[in-house]
Amino acid sequence: MQNPLLEVPKAKHGAYPFDRIKTEDFLPALQAAVETAKTKLERYKRDPRTDFAHVIVEKSDITEQVDYVAGIFFNLHSAECTEELEKISPEMTEVLTRFGNDISLDPQIFAKVKACYDTRLDQKLGKEELTIIEKTYKSFTRNGALLADSEKAQMRELDEKLAKLTLTFSQNVLKATNEYVLELTDRADLAGLPENVVEAAAEMAEKKGKPGAWCFGLDAPSMIPFLTYSKKRDLRKKLLLASSSKTYKTKYDNQETLKEILKLRTARAKLLGFNTHADYVLEERMAMSPKKVMDFLEDLLAKAKPHAERDVERLKKLARKQDGITDFQSYDASYYSEILKRQELALDDEMLRPYFKLENVVDGIFKVAGLLYGLEFREAFDVPKYHEDVRTFEVFDQDSKAFVGLFYTDFFPRPTKRGGAWMSGIKEQGMYHGKVERPHIMIVCNFTKPTKTKPSLLSLDEVLTLYHEFGHALHGLLSKCTYRELSGTNVYWDFVELPSQIMENWVLEKECLDLFARHYETGEKIPEDLVKKIKASGKFLEGLGTLRQLTFAFLDMAYHSVSPETITDINEFETRITERTALLPRLPETSISTAFSHIFAGGYSAGYYSYTWAEVLDADAFEFFQQSGIFNRDVAKKFREHILERGGTEHPMELYKKFRGQEPDVGALLRRAGLH
């Protein structure tokens, strides 16, 4: 059949043929790729060889076409999910889950993997080969290879149900986010909102067929400025209530979906011999056990909570003094935080936005990559794209001129894109049919859009987000592994955030800001006093910020460490678990959990603590940079060679110690946050 998904990519660097793919190509391509793989797997199973090249490398080649089709589909499903694509997603998920289980639960395939694993030390292999054999063997056992036939059937059923439910959870969040609109028709209701926010709201209203009105949605670039600047307390409450209840007791209610996900995850963990899903997950993490995670979180809570309580008291005092508010609520927090920041630091986001034109920030981050790692980014106009907002870049080594990888950016919100920001390996670095190839990496964000009169001017938080995702991108682009299963971000989940979070540190440094922060109209460099204020803002209300992250981490661990049967009321459970970290009254009829996509639709179940865990790593690592200069090439070379290039080829703590010369110091995080 003629299908671009089944052809060898002809575009530059073998890029995805986004310009030729139609939605109706996906299911036939996936089914054909699966059938071809199954035929090859039958021959593979009959082959008596148990050496590494046959068992590991050949198996990877057999499934490569299936991975290729799935990779394109799920990248689009997150970034450009049309109604047509959404309709076929359950069947695509079902076919892929079934195929994955056909391999992981096949006794003949596992017998070959086990034989290769048992003889690994006799095969005279390198460290990377030994690591991938061990990882493959463990993957099979963690997916049920050692189970009895009846238990394998149960595992298959659990996995297929889980795949459908996590997809449903994600779809509900996206639909609920897209559906809600706060429509304002009275200009008085715009009090306090910056001009660019008002203009963007008017443009949104026009697109929704409501000319003359102003519309606000639940996507971050629309909602966050409203909660930060609107003087209308009743409207802030209305918008935050809509966001916090979008998938709770609405037509997109996720309560039962959430409960069923927990039951299935627990059943799966118990089937494999673990007490809880958290025990299962953490076996393959730096933290290793729920106890170690909880000890880590409790230690940080003890240090951060007194600071957070003082932060809240300062906000309450300000609200009482300025507006007579005696019942301070969550929908007041961002508004008065911004006022307090203006008072204490003489700083607000609107002062900074003119210096953070998106194109300049992107150019600046490329300069940072050049100074640290000798990379050069050249925009490519002949690489297929899936949407007009996407830009593509070829990445080269400045010295050798060697091709490093393809880099895609997609920055603005739209109804077909899920919320948040993420990096994705469109094509991971590593071996494909005997040849090691370079990666294709994408970052997707939801930033402030340009308006008719202004370019895209980012908030400081958006700049930090861009640097964060770019850090992930560097992890993918600079990977120098043999096997794609170990390359780039294929590392322990509580290590994957180190390359991303460390990049955020540069944003708070003058040497970095001087590279790109120029006024979009005058070209004037960001003033010295603003740079100092940005630096100081890194510690502003940091106790409250840390407590917020701890709330999510504790909630995640609680859900995945208890018996699901005990969770009968989501609201009651969430209230009880977050009681110690909640310093403001809980809004009635709202829920964090039912829209907590990170843990119920993403890969962070029993892993949300990773963000805070990695903060310790990145704070400690950045102190090492600061000791020699933030653009010191020798330190950057160590970070590149031991962290960015090595993927999951060694245990992350060993890689970290090779870079740093020591284990990470928790004190570095406390010093940076001003919590020591």
User: Annotated catalytic sites, by residue?
Assistant: 469
> Residue 264 and residue 278: Cα distance in Å, rounded?
13
Give φ, ψ of 461 to 5 degrees.
-60, -40
> Residue 202 and residue 184: Cα distance in Å, rounded?
10
Give φ, ψ of 123 to 5 degrees.
-90, 0
**Residue pair 656/664 in contact by the 8 Å Cβ criterion:** yes
Of how many residues is the chain composed? Answer: 676
Task: Return the structure tokens found at 415.
Answer: 């109804």
**Residue pair 537/347 in contact by the 8 Å Cβ criterion:** yes
Task: Return the structure tokens found at 489.
Answer: 């971000």
**Residue pair 410/393 in contact by the 8 Å Cβ criterion:** no
> Residue 217 and residue 417: Cα distance in Å, rounded?
14
- CA dihedral angle for residue 504, residue 469, residue 169, residue 596, rounded to 10 degrees: 0
Amino acid at 311: D
- CA 137 to each of CA 61, 103, 114, 115, 612: distance values in angstroms, whole numbers, following the listed order: 17, 12, 7, 10, 30
> What are the b/e assignments for 487-507, b being 16+ CB within 10 Å?
bbbbbbbbbbbbbbbbbbbbb
| Edge-to-edge strand ranges of the sheet holding 422-427 | 375-379, 391-397, 403-410, 440-444, 422-427
**Residue pair 543/307 in contact by the 8 Å Cβ criterion:** yes
As beta bridge partners, residue 560 has: none
- CA dihedral angle for residue 296, residue 299, residue 300, residue 302, rounded to 10 degrees: 160
Neighbours of 628 (CB within 10 A): 12
> What are the b/e assignments for 567-602, b being 16+ CB within 10 Å?
beebbebbeebbeebebeebeeebbbbbbbbbbbbb
For residue 632, which of 416, 453, 428, 371 has the smallest C-alpha distance?
Answer: 371
